[in-house]
Structure 1
Amino acid sequence: MRTSRVLISTFMVALPASSVAANDFDLYGGASPDLVAPKQGPGIIVELGLGVGVEPAYEGASDYTVVFSPIVEVEKLTIPGLINVNKTRGGLSISPAMDFVSERISGDHDWLAGLNDVDATYAPGVRIGYEMELTDGLSGELYAKLQYAFGGAEDFLGAVGANLSWRLTPQLTLTGGPALSFAGDDYMNTYFGVTADESNATGGRLAAYQAEGGPKSASLSVSAKYEIITDTFVTLSASYRQLLGSAADSPIVEEESQFTVGLGLSRRFSLGY
């Protein structure tokens, strides 16, 4: 899953009084029109592309599958009088967060045979981060996410994490860091619980199990993004995730340690700037 990250900010520009001559003002005390900066109309800078990756067939699976996902990342967005978004300025950022879990069909996985299918789950929410420059070319970010899942599972999800971003060259940037995720009772039971009826349907192979909300996983991710030609990027990413708590103890889980790798190609588009 990819999420776009945007930074909401406001701007104030001061012009030193010593640089303004008396004839630069009109009769009403305002600045001369040639000194007034032109108003910015609506505009957007967005990165669009497609990624392909390999990830577990479901959380806790021992087998892996190939997945495709869109890349949508808003770098700058101006709607006069409403919003001025600029990802590149650092500081506080507030952005939407969206995760999607495709439907889980138990008949497609030998280990899950006998369990109920789970519909696709959608989890919109908000991501709040604070980014600071540590040294020239190196920055750090702390962030938190809060989302509400609906569809296959309905409950709150959350995550906290940190990222380091190191610009090695004007074209190449490395990013990575740890994260800790959480989920409520309903979400955990939907994906990691086993009812008595489901246990009977498996012939007792999977014992009845009541999962509880709390920490779900700890992860570490890294990515390398390279601008191969102007405004065109290739991104290589990888992550390691360790299931925790009720998720790790679930009889559904074959492997507590999970890995993902991905490759993406994207292009930056600008309109109005």
Structure 2
Amino acid sequence: MIISNFAQAVEEPGLRHKLWPNSWSLSTLISIKPSYEGSDKYKFQLVPALIPNPETPASFIDIRGTDDIRLTLLKRELFEVGPTFGYHFGRNQKDGRKLKGLGNVENGLVLGGFIKTSLLSSIDTSLSYHHEASGDINGNQFRLSFDYEMYSTSTAYVFSRLVATYADGEHMSQYFGVTEIQQRNSQAGLKKFNANAGIKGVSLSLGGKLELFDAIKLNLKGRYGRLIGYAANSPVIETKNQFLASIGITFSL
């Protein structure tokens, strides 16, 4: 879970081979993120983490978010495949004024898989599947991602990432829908709302890594996301626009 939180700032795939000793880093992440998906309130997070070094073979792990940790099991010249896992953070009715009376959405385990292709030298395309195996949201999501390597040297790396997320009806109804019971209990007077399957959002990220010294690295990331479709029209959300900013400092062990 801690590794997953830090991963929102560190997203370079790195090398992918079997683990070697002395290939880990102690990191500290400071991030600003929405209180919940669709919130217009933001919260600070300070998270220490122990992660694989991006430059060592331990980084066959590609961590893209709390619910999207990827393990490359098979890699060829033009593609790679493997499982995904992670943790979905739910929602507390105390997180926003519109949520009061709706009840909490519990956290849960996420399992799935991915395939990534590298048809162009600086652009990677990946499709991933994420099944919410436990918790209150027992749905499925698919993510189509385009990664572009903007700049890369031995001491600096800059990338951009465009992602579109599709969610099935189970996910949409449980997170963005309002049932008749919730309508009666809503302290904000929310009306019943049916949220169907569809593309729920797109996001654009810009990130980078800078090696300050041999053992100290600085990681920066900014992301803009926008909810669309039923997610954007849900009475549960407070804004369609979602921002995230983070800075991390990594000390190699």
TM tier, smaller: 0.7 to 0.9
Q: 2:37 aligns with which of 46, 49, 59?
A: 59
Question: Which amino acid in 1 is paired with 2:205?
Answer: S
Unaligned regions of 5+ residues in structure 2, if any? 60-71
Question: Which amino acid in 1 is paired with 2:124?
Answer: E
Compared CA separation, residues 71 and 54, structure 1 to 2 (3 A): farther
1:144 aligns with 2:127: yes
Compared CA separation, residues 175 and 71, structure 1 to 2 (3 A): farther
Residue 193 (structure 1) shift:
0.8
Q: Percent identity?
A: 21
Instruction: Report what 2:142 is aligned to.
Output: 158
Instruction: Report what 1:246 is aligned to.
Output: 230
Compared CA separation, residues 242 and 195, structure 1 to 2 (3 A): same
Residue aligned with 1:241, SS: strand
CA distance in 1, matches of 2:200, 2:163: 11
Residue 250 (structure 1) shift:
0.5
Unaligned regions of 5+ residues in structure 1, if any? 10-40, 79-83
Give deviations 1:191-212, integer Å, cap 9, x for gaps: 1111111111125721111111
Q: 2:213 aligns with which of 229, 244, 267?
A: 229
CA distance in 2, matches of 1:194, 1:98: 28
Cα RMSD (Å): 3.1
Q: 1:171 aligns with which of 140, 155, 159?
A: 155
- Between structure 1 and structure 2, the one with the greater Rg is 1
Compared CA separation, residues 116 and 4, structure 1 to 2 (3 A): farther
Question: Which amino acid in 2 is paired with 1:72?
Answer: I
Residue 230 (structure 1) shift:
1.5
Residue 226 (structure 1) shift:
0.5
Aligned ranges for residues 91-170 of structure 1 at < 5 Å? 91-131=78-118, 134=121, 139-149=122-132, 150-170=134-154
Residue 116 (structure 1) shift:
1.4
Residue 163 (structure 1) shift:
0.8
Give deviations 1:31-65, integer Å, cap 9, x for gaps: xxxxxxxxxx9735455533221111011111011
Q: Confirm or deny: 8 A CA contact 2:98 2:188 kept in the other structure.
A: no
46-55 or 222-231, which deviates more: 46-55
Question: Which amino acid in 1 is paired with 2:230?
Answer: S
Question: Which amino acid in 2 is paired with 1:198?
Answer: Q
